[in-house]
Structure 1
């Protein structure tokens, strides 16, 4: 059974209160207006004028009127009973009219009384969309609702300061760490470029460069996670099919593993930051290649169903517990590896994917497959839908319609 809204319950309470009060008043009126003299009772005829000394003979007294066997209760012949019956009838009609008027006035009164609650709800929704700068600032007297609104503003202020400080710390730490990493890379590359460097030094330098590459990817991921969604550019129209196809061709060219790749790429244009969307696609493709078996498979699909544009990437690999699906989006979470032989990842790939998707008004889900492996789906608002909320776009990246279906064998 569907429950009534708070506005409906308040209106019903107003109507019940009015009806009960009106019924009590009507009942008291009926009790106080009850006729005192019974119907059909006749008054005695007047006695003729006589002097005080006159003696009235008994025979001269008028005879009393005959007493009827039954009292006359007909309202037509009794004006008092007729007035009482009309009072009852009109009282109930008036009570019904007052109930209808109270329902009408109570509906609008409840709407006005709940207006501050709607303001609090709207602010909570904006805060849930990562807009912690919003404030209610409810005017009016210091009643219970204003105290609630002020407490909510105070909570939003503390959350905003906390998240801003966290983002600033991560960004500053990443920037500070990029400088020594870049210096180490420069020293290593200069050392390897010398002709007199021995083989052992070259091997050590290459290992050091591989470690530096991983550190740079970690720092880039931290910077992306620290980026505020409000500062993300949304002025480019991007075709997910084109980006995915280019990144897949690049990954296939550099892959040395025999992985079967199946694609079904339909044009799916979204609006946002091209660099971030490219990083989103690249992270998903790299994740599917890294966490895969030696001769596994990858299935990639893009589509536009007019309500959202989606990118779906599924791959084979080790079995993942369905309860651990949500943990994959946490930073530095890698579930399918051993400490002795870790994969070449940093644990930030899917976290960055989620941050980029949410910054563009989208979402991402990961579903562990029962046969092993993972299926990841990213949904973003289509370009036409996003334009309604983010305004016109000055830049544009057009792409031709992608090939419908392609099968590639990598690493053959």
Structure 2
């Protein structure tokens, strides 16, 4: 049975029950106030009045029963027809939602319900469905662009490796050491790109056990790890701020901080650049801010920097330029921790990146980070 038929039968059944109760109430009223029999004086053939006993209730029942049956028949027909029409009008929004769902299953995510009328339960359901379709459309489009860009980025080092091997095979005078060195560089880039893609995939799964983390300690650890890179680029790093306790994955948040600091070092002035790393506490969360000097950036360019493989060409150096996933990884990790990421171009040149995460009470058992047991995040993951 369809929902419309069920609603029709429900309306009809309710109407019939109400009719039965109404007629029963009328009948009980009549039984209470109408006597069973009554003495009536009727004229005889001789012109005189004679008294007789007449059964009033039985006569009343004979008159009442056919009319009650007619009323029941009318209520049945009226309930079925009216219930069918009312059920159709009530379920019309669901028909539009069902049609939109069918279109969505055929990968047509651009369709929207846009249900008119007052805001009721169906309108809220339709609006929520439209919002879900919009998010899905954006997500699918992003995934398609990401897959295409990732395929292109992975194909490039493989094509270069094949070309180098073909040259080495056809040209016996080619310096083998030079070919091996170039192959090593290309292979390193491919490994960095693959590791960045795996990290981005793990971050998008949002599966980790939350623990107490202090962003200020992670900032110090990332700064200390990247200090040799900063010295190589002639960049100074200043770290300041307060204790910033939050809940999350220490590994992912350290990767986030490292990516931001490394990004600020690499995409900086050619010499005498500066990086400022600051942590602070706000009423509604904790904040990590990384700023750097550099070329002037337009708001349009900055708005694209979190897209995978979308690089600002004027900000890329020849070394440690990354694989174009640094800020994409930062954005994914931020969202996985229910935070917000904000990129703002500095008026003096360079970029200001702000990560705001939910705050928590400091862990009383917190200790300073000890020596690292393994290698830190590779420079290839920075944007």
Using the size of structure 1 for normalisation, the TM-score is 0.47
Q: Does 1:248 align with 2:241?
A: no
Instruction: Give the match for residue 267 of structure 2.
Output: 291
Note if contact 2:278-2:289 (Cα within 8 Å) is conserved in structure 1. Answer: yes
Q: Which has the higher strand share?
A: 2
Note if contact 2:199-2:329 (Cα within 8 Å) is conserved in structure 1. Answer: yes
Q: Return 5+ residue gaps in structure 2 as ranges.
A: 1-117, 162-172, 370-383
1:231 to 1:357, Cα distance in 2 relative to 1, 3 A: closer
1:236 to 1:298, Cα distance in 2 relative to 1, 3 A: same
3-state SS of paired residue (2:338): coil
Q: Whole-Å Cα distance in 1 between the matches of residues 281 and 310 of structure 2? A: 31
Q: Whole-Å Cα distance in 2 between the matches of residues 397 and 235 of structure 1? A: 15
Shift of 1:282: 1.1
Instruction: Give the match for residue 304 of structure 2.
Output: 327
Instruction: Give the match for residue 245 of structure 2.
Output: 269
Q: Does 1:148 align with 2:123?
A: yes
Greater CA deviation, 260-269 or 281-290? 260-269
Q: Return 5+ residue gaps in structure 1 as ranges.
A: 1-142, 186-197, 386-392, 402-412
1:237 to 1:209, Cα distance in 2 relative to 1, 3 A: farther
1:378 to 1:326, Cα distance in 2 relative to 1, 3 A: same
Q: Does 1:218 align with 2:193?
A: yes
CA deviations on 1:38-59 (whole Å, 9 max, x unpaired) are xxxxxxxxxxxxxxxxxxxxxx
1:350-389 matches, cutoff 5 A:
350-384=327-361
- State which of 224, 232, 257 in structure 1 corresponds to 2:207: 232
Shift of 1:291: 0.4
Q: Whole-Å Cα distance in 2 between the matches of residues 305 and 145 of structure 1? A: 38
Using the size of structure 2 for normalisation, the TM-score is 0.50
State how many pairs are aligned.
239
RMSD of aligned alpha carbons: 4.4
1:347 to 1:154, Cα distance in 2 relative to 1, 3 A: same
1:265 to 1:160, Cα distance in 2 relative to 1, 3 A: closer
- Which of these two proteins has the greater Rg computed from alpha carbons? 1
Note if contact 1:234-1:271 (Cα within 8 Å) is conserved in structure 2. Answer: no
1:202 to 1:150, Cα distance in 2 relative to 1, 3 A: same
Shift of 1:315: 1.0
CA deviations on 1:175-215 (whole Å, 9 max, x unpaired) are 9x99xx99x99xxxxxxxxxxxx994444334333333333
